Amino acid sequence: MIFAALYLGASVYLSAQNTDAGVIGKPDLKLENDLMTPEALWAFGRLSGPQVSPDGKTVLYAVSYYSIGQNKGIRDLYTIGVDGNNPRQITRPPKSEFNAVWRPDGKKIGYLSAQSGNVQLWEMNPDGSDAQQVSDIEGGITGFKYAPNMRKILFSKDVPVEKKFENLFEGLPQASGRLMDELMYRHWDHWVDFNSHVFYADYDGTKVWNEKDIMAGEPWPAPLSPFGGIEQVSWTPDSKTIAYTCKKLTGKAATLSTNSDIYFFDLASGKTTNMTEGMMGFDVGPVFSPDGKYMAWESMERDGYESDQNRFFVMNLETGEKWDATKDFDQNAGNLLWSPDSKHIYFTSDWHGTFQIYRYNLKKGTIDKLTEGLHDYRGIDLAGDHLIAARNSMSMPTELYSVRIKDGSAKQITFTNKELLDRLTMGKVEERWMKTADGKDMLTIVIYPPHFDPSKKYPALLYCKGGPQGPLSQNFHYRWNYQLMAANGYIIVAPNRRGVSGFGQAWQEQISGDYHGKSMQDYLTAIDEMAKEPFVDENRLGAVGASAGGYAVYYLAGIHDGRFKASIAHDGIFNEEAMYLETEEMWFENWDKGGPFWEKDNKVAQETYAHSPHKFVQNWDTPILIIHGEKDYRVVFTQGMTAFNAAVLRDVPAEFLYFPDENHWVLQPQNAILWQRVFFDWLDKWLK
């Protein structure tokens, strides 16, 4: 059955003036009550990209707002004093701005905008006045950075890949066929018709010219596709060298390996040098000490393991010596930031379901934790004796905080969403430690409905995290939003099961080659423990998850022994053998699944495929909603289609929500709201 209209009584609606007219801005919301709804979720302003001015006095940042009526968003730029005073919106054009940074002299703000058609570099005064287009590069650019001496810029740009079979298409302008003879022909959500390259160009403060491709003729991308950005490219402090991240592999070799390196391109000689040769995992994101003596970067050790510990290394550029700054630190590290005196590196790391700020002492080789609390710190920048940090939690979207380095105390300085948050009631977020089936301690996050009444009984949802590795932290998500689920009257149970980062590398690695074992028992432990509570109705339990969490939902459907009365799987893995040959990043399949299914002597692989969820479908007895996007090339949409078909053929109540224009996520506002409406319609049907 296809539903044309699933949601007739939204408790939040948006003013037509702001959402359906030509200008997108902060939505004019009217609330029927104090509970979160999908429309309210999409009304939040999404803050990003904080940058402190060179004089340390002002923060530049962006906020995106979305129009449901226009089915799109726009990002505008703002400034505020580091003390939280003098907030100002400095752009209001019809096009978004992004990659906004202070020029090294602090007199201009550079940013990318498509106001002239394709994306070019623009500049304006810090108050937003006198906006001028600076570049006019054919095809547009995707990111940029000023040289410290401001005589040049570097930028990234998409260049076409070689068309090996172009002659066969001569005279056939309407032919739609694609002819491939190698792997990695598509990646995540796009066909690989272009690669990103790094360029540099002359710059005189008003215009850019004489651009040069430092990777001319090379068939591999830099920054790394598909998620790498301009943060993977840097100038050395003397403006003489460009450091860039690249995986110089193509085809089958590229899909089997994660071995990226950091390369130095010397502008004077045109010579390129591999600075991390022999380091076999991901090496990304070079950042240089202000005195020019050191480079720090993020590094994984093992080739083919994309969830290896994300360490950070430091190299002495004078001697070539390099060392693992996190060798005694059993956590991941990211967002590296040098202190002005080149004596410390600040970074963020996830630990026990949160992201906190840490500091590395270069001389002593020690690491100190600076912050605490049930929240996530993400982007950071320096402002004197304070850090300006982007922070969010399960109950609050991202805002900027001024963090005192001396004691880690924090003061909120932006209040982008205060008006809306003041009108909504959030549910309590609680940390619970539980004993797993094999006696380990596991942290489970529990989110209660707003106005929770312990004398009542509530349905509960087991949240199955994707990844399968990575953090289950305090992120304010715009699809899997815990507070939105709780606002619909559900208790959310989110276990940090085996495979989740932030509990040491050994805990994270226990899921590789064992999706079906300890992590599944961890899920059952969490929901069974919560079902013992007098306020949880053990007869109204559901399981929901996406990607590897979708795998978990499919697998649990075959082994749950009557626990669940409804389930939802989004972009989940259903048939492991098909997945192995449908996906594109083979390093992931080989590491996490143990290898191909045809290796009969490979015990890990054979155990994996023996426990593929589709082999337990004969046990399915729980109503299931399946969601998938056609542009998901990571977990191909046929995985969802076959799961749905199997459920129907088994006479299991099922629905299939299919998006022809979405990838592994749901990014368009109207599709996202449809996703939420279908999601809760399904749960309410079976659990209320």
Q: At which residue do the structure tokens 């990003």 appear? A: 48
> Are the beta carbons of 545 and 521 closer than 8 angstroms?
no
Residue 586 burial (CB count, 10 A): 20
Rounded CA separation 422/445 (Å): 24
Annotated active-site residue in 547, 560, 570, 611: 547
Rounded CA separation 614/626 (Å): 14
DSSP class of residue 613? G
> Are the beta carbons of 102 and 51 closer than 8 angstroms?
yes
Annotated active-site residue in 283, 381, 522, 632: 632
Which one, of 469, 577, 578, 583, lies nearest residue 515 by Cα? Answer: 469
> Are the beta carbons of 393 and 374 closer than 8 angstroms?
yes
User: Is 516 considered catalytic here?
Assistant: no
SS3 479: coil
Annotated active-site residue in 344, 611, 628, 664: 664
Q: Given the DSSP bridges, would you call strands 58-67 and 46-52 parallel, antiparallel or unpaired?
A: antiparallel
Q: What is the CA radius of gyration of the chain?
A: 25
Lookup: tokens for 319 = 């001697």
User: Is 547 considered catalytic here?
Assistant: yes
> Facing residues of 347 across strands?
358
DSSP class of residue 500? B
End-to-end CA distance of the chain: 21
Sheet holding 58-67, edge to edge: 46-52, 58-67, 72-81, 88-89
DSSP readout, 135-173? ---TT--SEEEE-TTSSEEEEEEEEEPP-TTGGGGTT-T
Q: At which residue do the structure tokens 């020690």 appear? A: 366
Lookup: tokens for 25 = 């801005």
Rounded CA separation 507/500 (Å): 7
Active site residues: 547, 632, 664
